[in-house]
């Protein structure tokens, strides 16, 4: 695979604490202003690097799309390995709703089409992904925590909770919703 990202590429993401690997599809969202890089992380994780790409594409996703920070660094430093390329559906090109939190006054906004922010009650958007680009390390930590807990194991048995980044991600883990936590009609949509 060349050094340039192409939509539909599948990343193999190393999980922390020797917990194996997760997999994510690279997607580009586009509105009238610009393009946005995002990933959709599959529900599948493996203990080894062996994965069947065809089976993986049939798997569901664990989270709503996540805006990806630092894709060029990920590729240049080979932080995540590209293991192949799959199709991206029309539905996957639809930009989901995101939530935006004003850090100054702690007010909440609904972001539609990555363009328009509207003030909204927290309860209507708390299940949405943040309108923020997330770096590879933070994606790795949050995904590791999710898979550890999905297996009914203790996070502290695998991750060093004295690590500042790990401790922060662990502290906010209950604000990160998996698709299993959200009624399907609200996947990528604010509540009425």
Tens-place pLDDT, residues 101-115 = 988 888 899 999 998
CA-to-CA distance for 112 and 99, rounded, in angstroms? 9
Classify residue 77: in a domain, yes or no. yes
Classify residue 157: in a domain, yes or no. yes
Classify residue 3: in a domain, yes or no. no
Determine the 3-state secondary structure of 8 from DSSP: coil
Question: What are residue 2's phi and psi, to 5 degrees?
Answer: -65, 180
In the chain the first and final C-alpha atoms are separated, in Å, by 43
* DSSP-assigned beta bridge partners for residue 24: 11, 41
Classify residue 1: in a domain, yes or no. no
Tokens for 131, please give them. Answer: 């309108």
Give the ranges where 5-163 is alpha helix by DSSP (H): 53-58, 71-76, 122-125, 136-150
Could you tell me the pTM of the whole model?
0.93
Q: Report how far apart, in Å, the C-alpha atoms of 134 and of each of 67, 89, 120 are.
A: 6, 23, 23
pLDDT for res 53: 86
Classify residue 113: in a domain, yes or no. yes
Classify residue 70: in a domain, yes or no. yes
pLDDT for res 70: 92
Classify residue 192: in a domain, yes or no. no
Classify residue 191: in a domain, yes or no. no
CA-to-CA distance for 118 and 111, rounded, in angstroms? 7
Say how many domains are in the chain.
Answer: 1
Q: What is the extent of the structural domain holding 107? A: 9-186
Mean pLDDT split into 10-residue runs, the chain, 192 residues: 79 96 95 91 93 83 96 91 94 94 88 92 95 95 97 96 95 93 96 92
């Amino acid at each position: 695979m060349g050094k340039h990202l192409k939509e539909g590429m599948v990343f193999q993401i190393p999980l922390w604490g020797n917990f194996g690997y997760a997999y994510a599809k690279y997607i580009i969202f586009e509105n009238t202003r610009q393009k946005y890089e995002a990933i959709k992380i599959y529900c599948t994780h493996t203990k080894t690097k062996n994965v069947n790409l065809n089976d993986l594409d049939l798997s569901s996703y664990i989270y709503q799309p996540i805006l990806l920070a630092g894709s060029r660094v990920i590729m240049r430093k080979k932080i995540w390995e590209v293991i192949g390329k799959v199709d991206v559906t029309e539905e996957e090109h639809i930009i989901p709703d995101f939530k935006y939190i004003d850090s100054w006054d702690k007010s909440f906004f609904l972001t539609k089409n990555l363009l328009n922010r509207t003030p909204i009650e927290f309860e209507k958007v708390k299940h949405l992904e943040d309108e923020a680009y997330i770096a590879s390390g933070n994606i790795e930590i949050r995904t590791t925590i999710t898979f550890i807990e999905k297996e009914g194991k203790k996070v502290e048995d695998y991750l060093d909770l004295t690590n500042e980044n790990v401790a922060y991600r662990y502290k906010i883990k209950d604000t990160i919703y998996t698709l299993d936590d959200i009624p399907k009609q609200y996947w990528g949509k604010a509540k009425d």
